[in-house]
Structure 1
Amino acid sequence: MEKTTFEFVQMDQDLPMRILHFSKENPQIYSQMDITEGNSGAISFIPIHWHKELELTYVVKGSLELRKNTKSKVYEDGSFFIVNSGEIHELKGTLSPEFNVICFIISYEFVKRYLPNIDTLYFDLGQTQQTHDKMAALFLSILESSQSEDPFANLSIQSDLLALFHLLCSHHLVDRKEEVLRSDYTNQLNQEILEYIHGHYAEKITLDDIATHFNFSREHFARVFKEQFSRTFLSYLTDYRLYRAFPEIMKGNKTIEIISQEHGFPSSKALIRHFKNVYQDTPIQYRKKNDVKILDHNDEINES
């Protein structure tokens, strides 16, 4: 069987979820979201991706732009958003002095345990007036427990997670509409396209190669890709290569020449040029200016 990849998210130890907190006091760079310090510190793009886990985010302070499937929306102070299982998404934002975002990535197995038919349902946070304050309190409680030295903090976290999931199921769970079901084929094709790129990004793949693989003409595939992902195939491929190379660049254990070869760049100059376009500095300059912590929890490969 062909090896394919998607975003695999490692859960926190002994928990059916991953707890992520991003703030000026807690800058982190990890393989799904890049946060940098400095006056112009920004969350650089999280490449278009998908995963089976449920992703629930609370923008306490700041602004994040979420592109989900083909639609984009900006979420600001005090707002929530959710990414359902399998939804293709991308995030952009700026790390302002008061930036504060809490993100929970909830295990698909946990969700399916309580909702066996989850694949025919989805969560819609369009209306959160009734649940906003309770959800906010649970987010903060879970975050506080996760930072506690209490040896039984995980019990409190799981209790709050169940309360949060109860709110989602009671107030925000809806049947997938016919038009959503009809779009599943397109979404599945998009997932397969991303899987192919993620599995072959380090190779010398071209637009012709991927178009042929999916039985499209070069011109038709280029048009469909741009319609679905709002960028050209080459632009996405280059961004994804940098995304995968970034942890290696920050660790500094390998030369830029070796990293460029391992991640599909045609040359070290091409990698440095694209890095500078994204981060406004060369890799060496960037490492000197930023204290970067890498959380490599997303590098596992799922084979099918």
Structure 2
Amino acid sequence: MLVPNYIFNPNPTSLDIDTNFKENTEHGDSKFPVAIHYTSHDGTSLNAIHKHWHNEFEILIIVTGQVTVTIEENAIIATAGDIFFIPANQVHEANCFSNIPCSFFAIVFNPAFIESKQNDIITENFLSPFLNFPAQHIAYISKKEIFSTQFNHVLTKLIDSFALKEIGYELETKAWLLLFLKQIIAYKDYLFFLEIHQPDRHDISLTIKKTLNYIDQNYQSSISLQDISSNVGFSKEHFCRFFKKHFHMSFNAYLLHIRLKKAKNLLLFSDLKILDIAFAVGFESAAYFSTIFKREVGQTPKDFRDKPKVIDFI
């Protein structure tokens, strides 16, 4: 299997994820909506894959190390050779387990790429369930299963075809993707599916969306724990526990993350003065903004604007 970074699609960055965790990267293009990302992490990054969701299907293949993969709040510690199938619109993230270096492939493709133009038996019987009931088709293929070699064979062929880009590789890519889904259907009685059956899931989702919406509308001004907890109908103590459980960080840490993310965007893609950017993203002074930015990013706002050293990969 070929793995050099330059062969595959550039990784989206954290700037491509909005405040509702939606990834806005275009994977491939309208005529060939497929992307393959190869990512290698040294284990020190906070996230190997930042929490996000998108409208495409994703196949995640662990290449080296161990990775904690979390899909819709369900976490699995995966090892090299393990595979995940993540249908559209499912929130997921990943971290190198115990800060040990890890690497993985992410194959992301629009389901329209493999759908038929008309509602034939293939779409109706085999593809529609993946589209209509995505949470019931989140699949984990452990390398310990005997049949996992068949999945790995298909994906190795797919990745190599995409990398080599020989004549007709687009056709071959589509064929391998269809064959991968065929394997999932063939072994559905033996695969471990992360089916989501949480009676309060709808309420949790609404609270998360309400929290994110409040932050998105008010990050430019001062937000206290009392303000946001009252907005979602929780006590401060309960809100802190809820936020930590679902966002894996404190509310203040997340708010700072959002403000710095907005600041990075403005520094790179606007002509606003640094003073104006500081106020625009919720800091009370340019001096404090510069101090916090330097501490968190490792560069002053001016240096980042001129030549950013690092943009976090997802």
Q: TM-score, normalised by structure 2?
A: 0.65
Task: Tell me if 1:137 matches 2:153.
Answer: yes
Match of 1:19 among 30, 33, 36: 36
The structure 1 residue matched to 2:246, chosen from 203, 214, 228, is: 228
Per-residue deviation, 1:162: 0.9
Give the whole-Å Cα distance in 1 for the aligned partners of 2:276 and 2:55.
33
- Provide the C-alpha distance between the structure 1 equivalents of 2:80 and 2:202, rounded to a whole number of angstroms: 35
Counterpart check, 1:49 vs 2:64: no
TM-superposition CA deviations, 1:223-263 (whole Å, max 9, x none): 32223333221112222333454466678977654554454
My pick for the range that moved more, 269-278 or 84-93, is 269-278
- The answer to whether residue 170 in structure 2 is matched with residue 157 in structure 1 is no
The residue correspondences of 1:1-304 to structure 2 (distance < 5 A) are: 5-9=20-24, 10-13=26-29, 14-23=31-40, 42-45=44-47, 46-93=49-96, 100-107=103-110, 114-116=127-129, 117-119=132-134, 121-125=136-140, 127-128=142-143, 129-150=145-166, 152-172=168-188, 180-193=197-210, 195-196=212-213, 199-200=216-217, 202-204=219-221, 206=223, 207-246=225-264, 256-257=274-275, 259-275=277-293, 278=296, 284=303, 290=309
What is the CA-CA distance between 1:285 and the residue it aligns to? 8.2
The alpha carbon displacement at 1:60 in A equals 0.9
SS at match of 1:115: helix
- How far apart, in 1, do the equivalents of 2:46 and 2:250 lie? 18
After superposition, the Cα gap between the structure-2 partners of 1:245 and 1:162, relative to the gap in structure 1 and judged at 3 Å, is farther
- Extract unaligned runs of 5+ from structure 2: 1-17, 116-122
Structure 1 pair 250–219 and aligned structure 2 pair: CA distance change class (3 A):
same
Q: Measure, in 1, the Cα distance between the counterparts of 2:75 and 2:226.
A: 29
SS of match in other structure, 1:21: strand
Cα separation, partners in 2 of 1:150 and 1:73, compared to 1, 3 Å: same
SS in 1 for 2:84: strand
Tell me the CA shift for residue 58 of structure 1: 0.9
- State the identity %: 20
CA distance change for structure 1 residues 100 and 215 in 2, over 3 Å: closer, same or farther? closer
Amino acid in the other structure paired with 1:236: Y
How has the CA–CA distance of structure 1 residues 90 and 120 changed in structure 2, closer, same or farther, with 3 Å as cutoff?
Answer: closer
- Cα 1:60–1:208 shift into 2, 3 Å: same
Q: 3-state SS of the aligned residue for 1:121?
A: helix
Deviation of 1:276 (Å): 5.1
Greater CA radius of gyration, 1 or 2? Answer: 2
Q: Is the 1:202–1:241 Cα contact (8 Å) retained in structure 2?
A: yes
What letter is aligned with 1:107? N
- In terms of fraction of residues, the more strand-rich structure is 1
Distance in structure 2 (CA, Å) of the matches to 1:269 and 1:170:
61
1:240 maps to amino acid: I
**Structure 1 contact 70–229 (Cα < 8 Å) conserved:** no
Alpha-carbon separation, structure 2, partners of 1:109 and 1:248: 34
In the other structure, the counterpart of 2:5 is none
Give the CA deviation at 1:268: 4.8
Larger RCO: 1 or 2 (CA < 8 Å, sep 6+): 1
Please list every run of 5 or more consecutive structure 1 residues that lacks an aligned counterpart in the other structure.
Answer: 24-34, 299-304
Q: Quote the RMSD (CA, aligned, Å).
A: 4.3
- What number of residue pairs does the alignment pair up? 276
- Report the Cα distance in structure 2 between the residues aligned to 1:198 and 1:59, rounded to whole angstroms: 34
